[in-house]
Amino acid sequence: MLEVAYRAFANPKKWWLAPPQRNTLLRMRSARVIRVLGIDPASAGATGFAVVDSAGSRCAVVKFGVIPPERDAARDLPARLRRIHAEITALIEEFAPDQVAVEAIFAALNVKTALRLAEVRGVVLLAAAQRELPVHSYSPREVKATVAGYGHASKEQMQKMVRALLSMPEIPRPTDAADALAVALCHIRYAQAEEKFGVPARAVMAPRVPRRGNSRVAGAVSIR
């Protein structure tokens, strides 16, 4: 009792906030924690990454950021790919994720951009395979529908939803890092649904693509 009274007197604000925080930590520790590395590959810009822990219904951000492109990234593509591979490998070694989630290729009309994105995505998959980590791929529409509830959500809407779901003090920036957080959250939601219903998660949660007449191409496709 003397120790309790002393702590309350020394720092009353933090003392009154301590019990809920301790309860949260106990719940996180008692549940099985799964660490996910989310990657938002970019064909020319920055590649976003995010490390998110999931324990039951609670998620916590461990780290997020971007791998910035070099000045001559367009000219020296092999060097850029080597750097991305090295950075992803370093993240895996430092944070030891259980699973990796990567955004799928979103190919519209620019085939050249899609091919470059596939090359970046390839070195990410290689880094995960070298550590024998399972990799899961989600289309941009799946990520948006799972996180924001709308497959055509804007960047701003996604940032606000990511902030709310992860209880972050500020909106995550830059957008590439926020996208990586969203990819990690998307995989966590799918994994939770699959564990709960006992069926492949996409059969439960996958967003439906609306049909537009008899058109074969709806403007874009997702390549896994």
> Looking at 40, 53, 87, 179, which residue is catalytic?
40
Neighbours of 136 (CB within 10 A): 18
Question: Does the annotation mark 103 as catalytic?
Answer: yes
Distance of CA 8 to the CA centre of its chain: 39
> Looking at 87, 103, 142, 179, which residue is catalytic?
103
Residues in CB range of 140: below 8 A, 6 or more apart: 103, 104, 106, 222
Question: Does the annotation mark 132 as catalytic?
Answer: no
Tokens read off for 34: 């799964």
Single-letter amino acid, residue 90: A
> Looking at 53, 87, 176, 179, which residue is catalytic?
176
Residues in CB range of 222: below 8 A, 6 or more apart: 104, 105, 106, 107, 139, 140, 141, 142
Q: Looking at the chain, list the stretches that DSSP marks H as alpha helix, in order from N- to C-terminal side.
A: 2-10, 12-30, 77-95, 111-130, 140-148, 155-165, 175-197, 201-205
Question: Does the annotation mark 40 as catalytic?
Answer: yes
Residues tagged active-site? 40, 103, 176
